Amino acid sequence: MKKLLLTLFAIIAFAYDIKEFVTCKKVVDLTPQQITDTFTTKDKKVYAYVYFTNIRENRLIDFVWEKNVNGVWKMYADVQLPIYAGQRWRTYSTINIQPCFVGKWRVSIVDNDQIIDSKEFNITDENTTK
């Protein structure tokens, strides 16, 4: 019963389903490439890719990028993007990797101030990972 109520809440609260949410090294033709949760300072970008299905209404969703600093998550960026009603919508957000970005990160999909899903990833110094 509890699982049924949670499922009904999710259907009512969110006007879409998430088929795929990953971090990767690039996106080509709206398809994630080199899916990973480990990046180095040699990599140019981190991509957060999401594939929505069964979108029942046009919405704005946020990609919230955060870095863990001494055990506290600090927001780096909040990127708001649209998704449109229909069977599917694929989109992504990126951050450009800088040498000072070494550490633990996460990116979250946020809808109306509610975290829908999060992915954690690490950025390491290319000189220490050889």
- Spatial CA neighbour of 80 closest among 108, 55, 52, 106: 108
Question: Do β-strands 114-124 and 38-40 pair in parallel, antiparallel, or remain unpaired?
Answer: parallel
DSSP 8-state assignment for residue 128:
G
Owning domain of residue 71: 2-128
- Give the C-alpha separation, 93 to 47, whole Å: 6
Domains: count for the chain: 1
CATH of the domain at 91: 2.60.40.10
Per-residue pLDDT tens digits of the chain, which is 130 residues long: 555 444 444 444 668 999 999 999 999 999 999 999 999 999 999 999 999 999 999 999 999 999 999 999 999 999 999 999 999 999 999 999 999 999 999 999 999 999 999 999 999 998 765 4
Which residues does 99 contact at the CB level (< 8 Å), separation at least 6? 41, 125
Looking at residue 105, its amino acid is W
